[in-house]
Amino acid sequence: MGYDDAFPELAAVYLEDSWVLEVAPSAEGVAIRLEAVLTPEHPLYRHPAPHEQHCYRAGWLTVTGNAIDVQLSGRNPSLDPDGSADYGSIDTFRTVADGFWEMEGDWGSVKVNQPVVRLQLD
């Protein structure tokens, strides 16, 4: 089962092309600032601007759960042509064992048991 089936808030979001702008771990989990890619099925979808590949919408993706482990890579962000920084994308978000999920990207990784996922778009 993919993340888009397991977590209703991600049903019309494509994480693999979404840009990670900030990663903020806490005792409860992790909050990831994104330029999220919305698919046409998302209620906030709009046609991409001429210079954009996708419909992007800023927001916070939070992941909490049991036995959460956040490992930051320590890599420096890339600088975009407009001067803004990004940490790549969320390359994978998949189930790896019964109840355990793993999220990875250039920014680091998150391993969590029974994740609770929320996406709050601006």
Q: What is the pLDDT of residue 79?
A: 86
Residue 5's φ and ψ, nearest 5 degrees, are -90, -35
Using the Cα atoms of residue 31, residue 33, residue 37 and residue 43 in order, give the sign of their dihedral. Answer: positive
Supply the pTM of this predicted model: 0.92
Q: What is the pLDDT of residue 23?
A: 95
Residue 101's φ and ψ, nearest 5 degrees, are -125, 155
Reported as a pLDDT band with limits 50, 70 and 90, residue 77 is: confident
Report which of residues 1 and 64 the model is more confident about: 64
**What mean pLDDT is predicted for residues 41-56?**
93
Q: What is the pLDDT of residue 91?
A: 96
Q: Are strands 13-25 and 29-38 parallel, antiparallel or unpaired?
A: antiparallel
Distance (Å, rounded) from C-alpha 71 to C-alpha 74? Answer: 9
Using the Cα atoms of residue 17, residue 18, residue 22 and residue 27 in order, give the sign of their dihedral. Answer: negative
Residue extents of the structural domains in the chain? 3-121
In percent, how much of the chain has pLDDT > 90?
A: 80
Distance (Å, rounded) from C-alpha 12 to C-alpha 66? Answer: 25
